[in-house]
Amino acid sequence: MKYHPNMKNSLLLIFSTFAVSLSSQITFQKWYGAAAGFEYSLSAVPVSSGGYIVSMNSDSTPSGLMDMLLLRTDANGNEVWRKYYGSSGWDIATGVIETNDGGFALCGAWN
């Protein structure tokens, strides 16, 4: 898998598509990323309690392979928590939704 060299060691989640006011103004833009490695996102959705849940992929784990990552932010884009999910192989997150009970369902694939 090839990675874009400008994306190494950082991640820009541009919430201009997601975090906009009714007048289409950007609410916030934040950088999230690991100190080393590669992380990227395919999905960021607003949650009912405010803020966003972001499904990400990261190779900044002990296995050194790609693992799924959920990142929760508050309404201002500040990180609330992050949780990694993975096996000894490649694990790729493709999306996330909020469930009716306030939890999250992470979608993806693994090998």
Beta bridge partners of 26: 20
Chain centroid to CA 6: 18
pLDDT tens digits in sequence order for the chain, 111 residues long: 333 444 433 344 433 334 445 566 677 777 776 666 777 888 888 999 999 999 988 887 766 688 898 999 998 889 999 998 888 888 899 999 999 999 999 999 888
Do residues 44 and 67 make contact, with C-beta atoms less than 8 angstroms apart?
no
The pTM of the whole model exceeds 0.85: no
pLDDT score at 35: 63
8 Å CB contact between 84 and 68: yes
Question: How high is the pLDDT of residue 97?
Answer: 93
